[in-house]
Amino acid sequence: MIELLDRIDSVFRKFTKGKCQYADLRLQQVETERLATASRQAEPIEKSVSMGFAVRVLKDGAWGFTASSLFDDKEYERVTKLALAIAAASHKVMGREVQIDRWPAQTGSYRTPVQQDPFAISLPEKLGLLQHWEDLLHADAAITATSTFLDFRRETKFFRSLAGGDISQVLTHVGAGVTGGIVKSRRERYERSFPTASGQFVSGGYEKITIFKIEENIPKIIEQVVTMQTAADCPAKTCDIILSPDLASLQIHESIGHPLELDRVFGSERNFSGTSFATVDQLNKLKYASDVVSVFSDPTVAGGLATYQFDDEGVPAKRMPLIEKGVLVGYLSSLETAARIMLPSSAAARSDGWGNIPLVRMTNLVLEPGNKKFADMIAEIEDGMYIEGVESWSIDDNRDNFTLGGEIGWEIKNGQLGGMIKSPTYSGNTVQFWNSCDATGHPDEWTLWGTPNCGKGEPGQNARTAQGAAYVRFRQIKVGA
Amino acid sequence: MIDKARALQILETGLATSAADQTELVLMGEDFSLTRFAESTIHQNMYRSDSTLFVRAVRGKKIGVSSTGDLSPDAVRQAVAAAGAIADLMPEDPDFESLPQPISSETPSDAVCFVPATAASLPEQRAEAVKLIVGICAKQKLQTAGAFRVTTETVAVLNSLGVRQYNASTKAELSLTAVGEQQNSGWAIGYSRDISKIDAAGLAETAADKAIRSRDPIALESGAYTVILEPAAVGQLLLFLAFMGFGGKTLQQQRSFMAGKIGEKITGDNIAIIEDPFDPQLAGVPFDYEGVPRRKVVLIESGIARGVVTNSYYARLLDSESTGHALPPNNTYGPYPKHMAIAPGDKTLEEMIASTARGVYITHFWYVNFLNPMKTQVTGTTRDGTFLIENGKVTRAVRNMRLNQSILDAFANAEMISARRELYPQYSVVMLVPAMKINNFTLESTEG
C-alpha cells in the first residue's frame, strides 16, 4: 500500500500545496469477517474488503472533503481539486472561520498487539467453534432459539498532511457472543445473552476470544433463561439499583460520552442527534456526578475498541480527564473544537472508514473503579434491584432524560439478592442520576466493554468505542415503565 | 456514476470466472455529496465516490458471499473465487432451492427515479440553499443547523440463470432545525428524486415558525393524550412497525406481530399501509438486490393484516412468490419494505386541531427504540416543536415528552387522517405518510 500512498500523495501535494491553509490525506483499507449461526443453522459468512482514500482541505477558514475508492491518477487529481472547490463553496456560508493554532506534524506507527491473526484462522475452525457453542446451548431441551457469532475487523490506515504528519496504524478487533432463548408462543419469548446482548468486542487477536469465557458461562445463561419463564414483571417503584458492568458501560456511553462530545456541545449535531446540557460555560463548575465518580478518555488503555496511538487528525492519543470527583473538567474534542475553548485536542477525531469526515467520537471511556465489591454493594441495600445485560435504550436530544432496559434483574431485599425480574427498566435525568451514584465497583470486577456500533453524524457514521466499568450503585432510582 | 454497459461488463467478466453451480453478482455504486451546517455556518462539506461488488456463489445447497470495493479484473476474480471457497466450507442450507430465474414484467422506467439535474448538481447549489435558509432564520434571530445531501446510486444485478438488471437513481434530502436563544427549536424536512423540488425557503419558514412558537414551554403531566402527529412523526412509527413485522423473515420465524394474524384486524378500519414502489412520488428502484422485479404489496388493508414482503428464499418458505424485496447478499436481516405508503384520509391539519378539545401537537420524535417488539411497544421523546392544543387551537409550547406506546394500539386509535401526505425518508426507506389524530396516546413527563 505504501507505493499506492506515495503516488496519491504526490498528486495530492501538487494540487494542494500553496493553495490552502492545510490539507491531509488518508488511505485506508478495512477488512471484515463475520460468522454467525441461528438455531444451529450457519448464516452466510460476511467477508469484505473496502479501500479508499480521502482528501481534507482547509481553505480560507472553510473545510472541503472528498473521498474515492477509484485508484488512478485522474481520480486523484479530480478528487483533490474537488476538495478545494467544496471548501470554496463552504466559504459562502461562514459565521465563523476555522482556527487552529498549530497543526500536528507527528510521525509514527502503531499496530494492535496480535498473537493469532483472526483472518489466518481457517473458516472451518471458526465455524466449528460456533457449532460447539450451539451444541452447549442446546444441551437443555428447553432452549429453542439460539444464536452465536464471531466478528473480526482489521483497519490499515495511513495519514499524511502538508504540516508534516506521516502516520501508519493497523488496528485489529475481535468480537464474539451467544444468545439462548425460549420461544413459548408468538407473544412469549425469553432470552439471555453472553457476554452481553451484542457480544463483547476488544482490540487484539483471535487469542482474546478465550478470555470472554463463553463456554464456561453457557450453562449459567441456560439456567437463567429457563427461570425467566416464571420471573416477575418489573415493578414500578423508586428504589436503589446496581448496574452490571456491561449495563454501566451503556449508561456511561449514553449519558457521559455523548454529552461530552465537544462538537455536539457546540451544536454541530443539533439537527440530528441533538445537543448537550453540558455547555462549555459549565466547565470546571458543573457537579455532573457524585464525588465517587471520575471518568477519563483514554485511547492508550490496552484492549479497547478505541485503542490507538493517533487519531484521524494525526493527534497523539493521551489519557485526559472528563469528570474528576464528580466535576466536569474536560471534553472529547478535535483540533477545531478544542481550539474554541483553548484546550488541547483529546485526540478523539475519528472517521468511519476512509469515506467519511473525522468527527468527535467517543474513545475508551474509563469509569475509575472504586473499592466496593458486588457482594458488599448488595449487602448495603434494603430495597433495591440488580439489573444485568443490555436490552433497550433511549435518551432525549439534550442527553438529559433517559430510559434504559436490562435483559434480566433480581430484587434485593435486606441486603440479599431475591427473586428474578424479567425486562427490568429504569429511568432518570443524567445529572441527578450520576449524583445519586454512591459506589463504583472494585478493580477486580472492572471490564472494558466494546461498543462496535456507536452511531453519530448525518448521514450516520459508525464508530467503535469502549467503556470501562465495574458494578455501579445508584440510590433511589425510578424503575419500571 | 458507473453506466449500464460498464456495470454489466464488470459483472459478466466476473461471472465468466466462476466455477460455482450458480453465481450472483451485485454491483452497487454511490456518488454522495453532503453539506452540513450548524451555528449558521457550513461546517462539513463533502463528496464521496464508492462502489461495492457482492458475489454469491452456490454449490449444491451451500452458499458463500464475499464483497470487495476494488473493481479491477483481478480483484473481481478474487472475490468470485472467495465466494466459491466460502460456499465449499459452509454447511448445507436444506431450505435453499435456487437463485431467482429471470422474470419479465412491466416496471417503471429509469427516468422515474433518475433525475439528471440532481446527479449534476454542484456544491455551490447546496451552499446557496444554506445561505437562503440562514438568511430567513436570521431575520427571526434564529440560528440554523441542518444537512443537505444529494445522492446518485447505481445497482446492477446479474446471475448465472439469466437475470440482468441495471438502475440508476437520484435523491436529494434537506432537513433543518431553527434554534432560538432559549433552546426553542423547530424542524422541517424535504425529500425528492428531483433537487429542483426541494423548497429550501419553505422549509426554513416552517422551521422558523415552529422555533418562534416553541418559546417558554410548559410541562405537562404524564398521561393518555389526544395527539396530532405530523407526517414525519407518523413515518417514524411506521418505520419501527416495519422493523418489527413487515418482513418475510420475521414472519416465517414467528417474530413478527403479523405472525398468526394474517386476515385478522390489527389496527383501526381507517388504516391501510401499502408497500408501493410504483407510486410516482415514491419512485422506487424497480427491482431488488436479487434482480427480481418489485411488486406492490398490501401490508394492512382496512385495519386487517394482509401480508409481508419477501425475497426468493423466504417466499419459498412461506409458499409464495418473491415480492422483490431482497436486501444486498451480505444482509442477514431478511426482506424489507422500502417504499411504504399510508392511505390518506379526508381531513386537513386545521380540521384535526379544530376538533381537539385538549391535546398535544407533535412535529417528530427522537431516539425511538423498542421496548417490546411483539407488542409493538416503543419509547422515545418528542422534539423540535411540541405544542398544547386547547379548545380547538394551538395555544402554547410544551416541553418534550417521552412516548411509551404500542404502535398498533396507536393506529387502532387514529381518529382522523389527513388527505395531504408528505414524503419522509429515513434509513434508506422512503415513506409517503399523512398526519394523524390519535386518541389515548401515552406520553410521560420528562425530568430533563
Three-state helix/strand/coil letters over chain A:
CHHHHHHHHHHHHHHHCCCCCEEEEEEEEEEEEEEEEECCEECCCEEEEEEEEEEEEEECCEEEEEEECCCCHHHHHHHHHHHHHHHHHHCCCCCCCCCCCCCCCCEEEEECCCCCCCCCCCHHHHHHHHHHHHHHHCCCCCCCEEEEEEEEEEEEEEEEECCCCEEEEEEEEEEEEEEEEEEEECCEEEEEEECCCCCEEEECCHHHHHHHCHHHHHHHHHHHHHHHCCCEECCCEEEEEEECHHHHHHHHHHHHHHHHEHHHHHCCCCCCCCCCCCCHHHCCCCECCCCCCCEEECCCCCCCCCCCCECCCCCECCCEEEEECCEECCCECCHHHHHHCCCCCCCCEECCCCCCCCEECCCEEEECCCCECHHHHHHCCCEEEEEECCCEEEECCCCCEEEEECCEEEEEECCEEEEEEECCEEEEEHHHHHHCEEEEECHHHCEEEEEEEEEECCCCEEEEEEEEECCEEEEEEEECC
Tell me if A85 and B400 make a contact (CB, 8 A cut-off). Answer: no
Question: In whole angstroms, what is the distance from residue A466 CA to residue B401 CA?
Answer: 30
Partnered with residue A287 across adjacent β-strands are A327
Residue A129 vs residues A42, A118, A140: alpha-carbon distances, Å: 12, 13, 19
| Contact across the interface for B66 and A47, Cβ inside 8 Å | yes
CA A391/CA B373 separation, integer angstroms: 12
CA distance A276 to A278: 5
Integer Rg of chain B from CA: 23
Q: What is the model's pLDDT at position B109?
A: 54
> Within the 271-300 window of chain A, which residues sit less than 8 Å (CB to CB) from chain B?
271-272, 274-275, 277
Contact B69 A481 (CB under 8 A): no
CA-closest candidate to residue B365, choices B402, B339, B395, B398? B402
Q: Which of A29, A66, A90 is most worth mutating to test chain B (most B CB atoms within 10 A of its CB)?
A: A90
How far away is chain A from the Cα of B137, in angstroms, using its nearest Cα? Answer: 13
Cβ within 8 Å, pair B47-A67: yes
Q: CB-based contact (8 Å) between A49 and chain B?
A: yes
Tens place of pLDDT for every residue, chain B, 448 residues?
899 999 999 999 999 999 999 999 999 999 999 999 999 999 999 999 999 999 999 999 999 999 999 999 999 999 999 999 999 988 899 999 999 999 876 555 555 899 999 999 999 999 999 999 999 999 999 999 999 999 999 999 999 999 999 999 999 999 999 999 988 999 999 999 999 999 999 999 999 999 999 999 999 999 999 999 999 999 999 999 999 899 999 888 888 889 889 999 999 999 999 999 999 999 999 999 999 999 999 999 999 999 999 999 999 999 999 999 999 988 878 999 999 999 999 999 999 999 999 999 999 999 898 888 888 999 999 999 999 999 999 999 999 999 999 999 999 999 999 999 999 999 889 999 999 999 999 999 986 4
Structural element, H or E, at residue B428? none
Please choose, from the candidates A253, A266, A222, A217, the residue with its C-alpha nearest in 3D space to the C-alpha of residue A96.
A266
Residue among B340, B345, B356 nearest B431 (CA) = B340
A74 touches chain B (CB under 8 A): no
Is the distance from CB of A359 to CB of A351 less than 8 angstroms? yes
Output DSSP code: residue B161: T
Q: For residues A457 and B63, what is the distance between their CA atoms, to the nearest angstrom?
A: 35
Cβ pair B379:A62 closer than 8 A = no
Q: Among all chains, which residue has been given the C-alpha cell 434508506?
A: B428
The Cα B365–Cα A24 span in angstroms is: 38
Count CA atoms closer than 13 A to A282's CA, side-chain side. 19
Query: How far is B127 from chain A, CA to nearest CA, in Å?
Result: 6
Per-residue pLDDT of chain A (481 residues; tens, 9 = 90+): 999 999 999 999 999 999 999 999 999 999 999 999 999 988 888 888 999 999 999 999 999 999 999 999 999 999 999 999 999 999 999 988 999 988 999 999 999 999 999 999 999 999 999 999 999 999 999 999 999 999 999 999 999 999 999 999 999 999 999 999 998 766 678 999 999 999 999 999 999 999 999 999 999 999 999 999 999 999 999 999 999 999 999 999 999 999 999 999 999 999 999 999 999 999 999 999 999 999 999 999 999 999 999 999 999 999 999 999 999 999 999 999 999 999 999 999 999 999 999 999 999 999 999 999 999 999 999 999 999 999 888 899 999 999 999 999 999 999 999 999 999 999 999 999 999 999 999 999 999 999 999 999 988 899 999 999 999 999 999 999 6
Is residue A94 less than 8 Å (CB to CB) from chain B? yes
Q: List CB contacts of B24: < 8 A, sequence separation 6 or more.
A: B54, B55, B56, B58, B99, B157, B158, B159, B160, B163, B290, B291, B329
Judged by CB atoms closer than 8 Å, whether chains meet at A481 and B404 is answered as yes
CB-based contact B89 A186, cutoff 8 Å: no
Q: Which among A24, A47, A125, A273 is the top mutation candidate for probing chain B, defined by the most B β-carbons within 10 Å of its own β-carbon?
A: A47
The dihedral over CA atoms of A264, A266, A269, A271, expressed in degrees to the nearest 10, equals 140
Residues B329-359: b if buried by 16+ CB within 10 A, e if exposed: bbbeebbbbbbbbbbbbebebebbbebbeeb
How many Å apart are CA A200 and CA B30, to the nearest integer? Answer: 32
| pLDDT confidence of residue B110 | 57
- Report the residue from A42, A65, A67 with minimal CB separation from B45: A65
Q: Which amino acid is at A208?
A: K
Q: Beta A416-422 vs A200-203: how paired, if at all?
A: unpaired
Buried b (16+ CB within 10 A) or exposed e, B40-76: bbbbbbbbbbbbbbbbbbbbebbbbbbbbbbbeeebb
Question: Residue B372: its pLDDT value, please?
Answer: 81
pLDDT computed for residue A115 by the predictor: 98
Residue A148: what pLDDT?
98
pTM strictly above 0.90: yes
CB contact under 8 A, A65 and B402: no
Q: How many contacts does A have with B, using Cβ atoms within 8 A?
A: 234
Are B338 and B325 contacting, i.e. CB atoms less than 8 angstroms apart?
yes
Residue A187: what pLDDT? 65
The neighbour count for residue A161, using CB atoms within 10 Å, is 22
Look at residues A341, A343, A284, A186 and name the one whose alpha carbon lies nearest to residue B255: A186
Q: Report pLDDT for A19.
A: 96
| C-alpha span between B280 and A215 (Å, rounded) | 54
Whose cell is 503516488? That residue is A7
Give CA–CA dist B108/A293, Å, rounded. 60
CA A97/CA A100 separation, integer angstroms: 10
Contact A186 B260 (CB under 8 A): yes
Cβ contact, residue pair A429, B134, below 8 Å: no
Residue B112: the pLDDT is: 81
pLDDT of the residue at B105:
64
Write down the pLDDT at residue B107. 56
Q: Does A92 touch chain B (CB under 8 A)?
A: yes
Pairing state between β A472-479 and A425-429: antiparallel
In terms of CA atoms, which chain B residue is nearest residue A359? B44
Q: How far is B77 from chain A (nearest CA, A)?
A: 14
Q: Does A156 touch chain B (CB under 8 A)?
A: no
